[in-house]
Chain A
Amino acid sequence: EVHLEESGGGLVQPGESLRLSCAGSGFIFSDYWMQWVRQAPGKGLEWLASIKPDGTDLYYGGSVRGRFTISRDNIRNVFFLQMNNLRADDTARYFCVRGIGSGIYYNFFDSWGRGTLVTVSS
Chain B
Amino acid sequence: EIELTQSPGSLSLSPGERATLSCRANQIINGAYLAWYQQKPGQVPRLVLQGASTRASGVPLRFSGSGSGTDFTLTISRLEPEDFAVYYCQQFGAFGQGTKVEVK
Contacts and interface: CB of A to CB of B under 8 A. Distances in A.
Interface in B59-93: 86, 88, 90-93
Contacts of A58: none
B47 A109 contact: yes
Interface residues of B, number: 25
Interface in B22-75: 30, 32-33, 35, 37, 39, 44-47, 50-51, 56
A45 B45 contact: yes
A32 interface: no
A110 B47 contact: yes
A59 B1 CA distance: 13
B98 A44 contact: yes
Given A44-B98, A112-B45, A115-B44, A106 B93 contact: no
A101 B88 CA distance: 19
Nearest to A108: B50
A109 B45 contact: yes
Contacts of B30: 105
A46 B32 CA distance: 20
A105 B33 contact: yes
A107 interface: yes
B89 to A, nearest CB: 10
A114 B93 contact: no
Contacts of B1: 62
Interface of B: 1, 30, 32-33, 35, 37, 39, 44-47, 50-51, 56, 86, 88, 90-98
